[in-house]
Amino acid sequence: MLHFEWPWLLLALPLPLLIRLLLPAHLSVQQSALRVPFLDDFNDLQTQSVKPRQRWPLLVAVFAWLLLVIASARPQWLGDPIEQAISGRDLMLAVDLSGSMQEQDFMINNQPVDRLTATKQVATQFIERRVGDRLGLILFGTQAYLQTPLTFDRATVNTLLLESVIGLAGDNTAIGDAIGLAIKRLKKESAKSRVLVLMTDGANTAGEVTPLKAAELAAENQLKIYTIGVGADEMIVRSFFGARKVNPSIDLDEKTLSAIAEKTGGRYFRARNTDELQKIYQLLDELEPVEKDKQFFRPRAELYFWPLAGALILASILSIGARRAL
């Protein structure tokens, strides 16, 4: 459907005619009389000097003005209405990039992978399902960084998560600073619900804010936190002296992660393998369902440059014709 963004500018169409009617006409300059000795010579001279008036410049000028006014009204082509899901929820993901995330105690397709790789595979599927939520991404290690501000663009959040690498934010773990950054980014938003999903495999070893103090501030700002502890309980390590079992998650502070979730009305989850991590994100879909408010928008394609180009071409033709007439 054709649509004009500024249709009131079409009122300028009769403006040249109004100017012609209101302003006085240009007075022709009287020329000196030419005397000729013979009447026949005068008639021949008069016949040669009188040329038929050309009307095409006036028509070209009219069409140029018409196209210029149409272009100024900003014509657009409106596409079919498209439904856009809006849930009214702001959801921030905080992912640990500390050095311990390189521990290869997860399996994907029967191949050992590090914890961050497993996190990426499952979290990207979760992000794709969050249609209608505004998503953000925080990466933290020794320091916490806002990698992606809140956006409906799930593809960008996924891309930046996949591009993250272990050690990018330092080798330590600043859980409290990650929560504090989420509070800072979410407290000024007018969303109905604010949620932080925090994933880590260790304990708080860096940062300026303790995790429990940050949790208290999150509760005051109505920020619900779901914490996920990542890492296997046992792992077979082979060496020159044989195989032995070790606990790769010995540094995981489950007590603090549980307290953070409890203070903010969330829940703590334990992910020992890829299947458990997948189930946790499916459960998060149930705990925080996407309730869609139907909103519609129509894609717009700008068309003003076509009549504008036509007006410029006609104006160029008028200019060339005026120079030739001189």
Domains of the chain in start order, with CATH, are: 2-21+38-80+298-325 (no CATH), 84-295 (3.40.50.410)
Token pair recorded at residue 189? 């938003």
Task: For residue 306, give every residue at least 6 positions away whose Cβ sits within 8 Å of its Cβ, in sequence order, or none.
Answer: 71
168 close to 137: Cβ distance less than 8 angstroms? no
pLDDT tens, residue order, the chain (326 aa): 788 889 999 998 888 888 888 877 665 555 555 555 555 554 554 555 444 556 778 888 889 999 999 999 999 988 777 655 565 678 999 999 998 898 888 888 888 899 999 999 999 999 998 887 889 999 999 999 999 999 989 999 999 999 999 988 888 999 999 999 999 998 877 667 889 999 998 889 988 999 999 999 999 999 999 999 998 886 655 655 556 565 667 888 999 999 999 999 999 999 988 899 999 998 888 888 765 555 556 778 888 889 999 999 988 888 887 777 66
Residue 273 class from Cβ within 10 Å (0-12 exposed, 13-18 middle, 19+ buried)? Answer: middle
Q: What is the DSSP letter of 24?
A: P
Cut 0.75: pTM above it: no
272 close to 279: Cβ distance less than 8 angstroms? no
Token pair recorded at residue 266? 């969330």
Distance CA(158)–CA(128), nearest Å, equals 8
